[in-house]
Amino acid sequence: MLSKKMETALNKQINAELYSAYLYLSMASYVESIGLDGFGNWFKVQAQEESSHAMKFYSYVNERGGRVKLAAIDAPPTSWKSALATFEETYKHEQKVTGLINKLVDLARKESDHATDNMLRWFVAEQVEEEATADSMRQKVKLVGEKGNGIYMLDRELASRVFTPPASSKE
């Protein structure tokens, strides 16, 4: 059984994960509007990933006898200075999400909630991957620049990304 404090914190995380999905959909719309459909695909896949993270938390709260209480999702920004700016923000956003996950781990440990601490280990590892991927994309766009053949080739590469649900997902 989840404590009320943990239930509230996990509900806030569900909202944060859904916000992340909105943010990445907004970024997809922006990059597609400047002709980078492959980049748009990358961000749409990222949005799917974030939605699956929200559902992982959703299922866990219900499984532990808690109650999911959905709240309004803040509107994300709708435009950026450039494609590079979207990945700069993605990297910063993933660092923020890492901080949120770490605070959940701290709370679980403070409350001696071993089950939640164990469940959160998956998210801790996932955030290492999320930050590394965002940083890699940021570095690639910096490397190739935002005009010419390099950005075209990168856009083509990103068009092939597909969503693969996590193996441990219950959705």
Q: Which two tokens stand for residue 74?
A: 């803040």
Q: Identify the pLDDT of residue 86.
A: 98
CA dist 104 and 25 (Å) reads 26
Instruction: Quote the Cα angle for 51-73-5, to 5°.
Output: 85
Cα separation values, 163 from 8, 47, 71, Å: 29, 9, 26
Residue type, 121: R
Rounded to the nearest angstrom, the gap between the alpha carbon of residue 120 and the centroid of all alpha carbons in its chain is: 15
Contact 24, 47 (CB under 8 A): yes
Domain ranges across the chain: 4-71+80-158
Residues of the chain with pLDDT under 70: 168-171
pTM attached to this predicted model: 0.94
Number of alpha carbons in the 13 Å side-chain half-sphere of residue 22: 13
Q: Which residue is listed with tokens 């404090």?
A: 5
Among 18, 25, 16, smallest CA distance to 52 is for 18
Among 8, 20, 72, 66, smallest CA distance to 45 is for 20
Q: Which two tokens stand for residue 110?
A: 């403070």
CATH class of the domain whose range is 4-71+80-158: mainly alpha
Q: Identify the pLDDT of residue 171.
A: 47
Q: Identify the pLDDT of residue 166.
A: 81
